[in-house]
Structure 1
Amino acid sequence: MKLTELFRPENIRQGVCFSSKKRLFESIAHFVVEQLHCDKGEQACFECLFNREKLGNSGLGNGVAMPKAKLPADATNKALAVFMQLETPIDYDAQDGKPVDLVFAVLVPEKQCQTYIPVLSALTEKLADKNFLKQLRSAKSAEEIWQIFEIVDQMPESTEALPEDNA
């Protein structure tokens, strides 16, 4: 699974601020509805994210979260992913107790959920790479984040780690 196949450059936000997980989810919902070019559905999208979160915390540890939700089948025929690098970490009730500053939100058409299980699993594996996370945290723009995604995508599957940043 390539990050550049799941994400798009216009779906990356760098240095954004939120006061809570709820505000983060509201922003993701707003952004998704905007991307789908619909006039309504922001509340429904927020509720999908929020209700899915009630089933299990999407905090992966190490300051990373991957909120997920189902989109109505008539909204889109492919997953929509949003990446947000937060300027200030927020309390996320993650299992490791660490606040979250990197958010990989993935919203999948409800009739394609089974199709995306391997994609979510592969993304979770990538998010365990501490050097990758370090690079994302130090990025100063959405363009730089996109370049990091492109570099990771060019690496062989078995060694998907970014070169060490010795700066």
Structure 2
Amino acid sequence: MTFDDLTTLSALLPAERAVCGLRVAGKAALLEDLARRAARGLGRETAPIRAALAARESLGSTGIGYGIALPHARLNGLERPYGLLARLRDPLDFDAIDERPVDLVALLLLPVDPRDASVTALACIARRLRDPGVASALRAARDAPSLHAALCGNGFGAGG
């Protein structure tokens, strides 16, 4: 699987996995919420996902700057990358490299097998989120379908 086009990005982060206006109290609460949502979508327990995300964050923040965070982790038994997209209602401190609060978050759970396209998937999402036009459209989105459309290129702007 390659992640060099918007169709594949849409498959990695389908519309039903977009959340607009997510309310959380802090970084730990955000990671807990994302782990819970991913566990539900994958039919797994929340604790191992939460632990994998926390372990990755302990190596250094996945806040990449510009108000964007890309929490990610590798999970045993995962056959393909799994993503979620969220725009937070209120930006929060995420220990990002530029110290700016985060309001755009893309969660990526990756297979343990290093031969997959995981690194490419992560880079593709990061490039897309860091595009100023895309970030602006994501921040202007009024609902989850508009949020998804802004990321995946099928209807930029608020309301999509």
Structure 1 residues without counterparts, runs of 5 or longer: 155-161
Answer yes or no: is 1:11 the counterpart of 2:13.
Answer: no
Q: Deviations over 1:139-167 (max 9, x none)?
A: 00001112223426x9xxxxxxx69x9xx
Q: Which residue of 2 aligns with 1:46?
A: 50
SS in structure 2 opposite 1:124?
helix
Which of 34, 49, 62 pairs up with 2:40? Answer: 34
Which of 131, 139, 157 pairs up with 2:133? Answer: 131
Hey, what's the Cα distance between the residues in 1 that align with 2:62 and 2:69? 5
Answer yes or no: is 1:99 the counterpart of 2:101.
Answer: yes
- Please, what is the CA RMSD of the aligned residues? 1.9
Q: Deviations over 1:87-123 (max 9, x none)?
A: 0001111111100000011001112465211221122
TM-score by length of 1: 0.84
Q: 1:113 to 1:140 in 2, by over 3 A?
A: farther
Q: Deviations over 1:55-89 (max 9, x none)?
A: 1210110100000011221xx31111010100000
SS in structure 1 opposite 2:24?
coil
AA partner of residue 87 (structure 2): Q
Among the aligned pairs, what percent are the same residue?
27
SS in structure 2 opposite 1:127?
helix
Hey, what's the Cα distance between the residues in 1 that align with 2:91 and 2:29? 13
More deviation, 137-146/1-10: 1-10
Answer yes or no: is 1:62 the counterpart of 2:30.
Answer: no
By how many angstroms is 1:127 displaced? Answer: 2.0
SS in structure 2 opposite 1:53?
helix
Q: 1:140 to 1:113 in 2, by over 3 A?
A: farther
| Number of aligned positions between the proteins | 152
Hey, what's the Cα distance between the residues in 1 that align with 2:86 and 2:114? 24
Hey, what's the Cα distance between the residues in 1 that align with 2:71 and 2:151? 19
AA partner of residue 46 (structure 1): R
By how many angstroms is 1:36 displaced? Answer: 1.2
Q: Which residue of 2 aligns with 1:25?
A: 31
Q: 1:109 to 1:123 in 2, by over 3 A?
A: same
Hey, what's the Cα distance between the residues in 1 that align with 2:112 and 2:31? 18
Kept in 2: contact 1:70–1:113 (CA 8 A): no
Q: Which residue of 2 aligns with 1:120?
A: 122
Hey, what's the Cα distance between the residues in 2 that align with 1:15 and 1:119? 25
